Amino acid sequence: MIIFPAIDIKDGKCVRLVKGDFNKMTSYQNSPFDQAKIYFQSGFRNIHIVDLDGALEGKLTNSSTVKEILKNLNLKIQIGGGIRTIEDIDNWIKSGVDKVILGTAAVENIDLLKAACEKFQNKIAVSLDVKNGFISLSGWKKQTNILAIDFVKKIENFGVSRIIYTDINKDGTKKGPNLKDTVELSTKVKIPFIISGGISSIEDIKKIKSLNNSNIEGVIVGKSIYDGDIKINELAKQI
């Protein structure tokens, strides 16, 4: 199972949100590069990065910051936020990212998702931010009436490399992930799932590892690292 430490970037800084609320945002002292370096030196090789400015504005905003990380650290980065076109995806692939995450664009433009999966095989991940079973878009500002299960079924044969499933009600709360809904959804399709949102302790990580669910590919850990609830060296032992 892959453990993805997270870096969310807003205004060039590492931040974390609570339930996607930008009014409940905490900024942290380390720069995104410094944080990535800590992860790298601790033994992590997979990093999850979200450009929150990009997610809000619908365009690539913090790309220079991410490219600095790519250039200087040997990391496999999955990147999301503000990626809306084939050109955006192409730019990131050429920059050396491992996976490009489509969220809002995938749901609003399913033809784009299909074309991207065909052109960039095994490089496209889909981020589903879900609240009470329904997908939210645009940095969680826009609630849809699209059920996550319906959308996942629709894209099952596109060639999506992984689905990053975030339970908004859990994200940033450190109250434990929504394993029940995530695991249940993961068993209904063949696309690997990444669990995101609410990870609060090493015990949560161990619980996910013990599921023995071949369709759960990994887990994203964010706020608990920044706040010190999970120590980097302890998390590294779970790699």
Given the residues 51, 53, 88, 129, the one annotated as active site: 129
Q: Which residues contact 168 (CB under 8 A, 6 or more apart)?
A: 19, 20, 129, 130, 131, 136, 140, 197
Known active-site residue 34? no
Q: How many whole angstroms separate alpha carbon 162 and alpha carbon 216? A: 10
Given the residues 8, 98, 167, 204, the one annotated as active site: 8
Known active-site residue 90? no
85-124: burial string, b at 16+ Cβ within 10 Å, e else: eeebbebbbeeebbbbbbbbbbbeeeebbbebbeebeebb
By annotation, the residues acting in catalysis are 8, 129
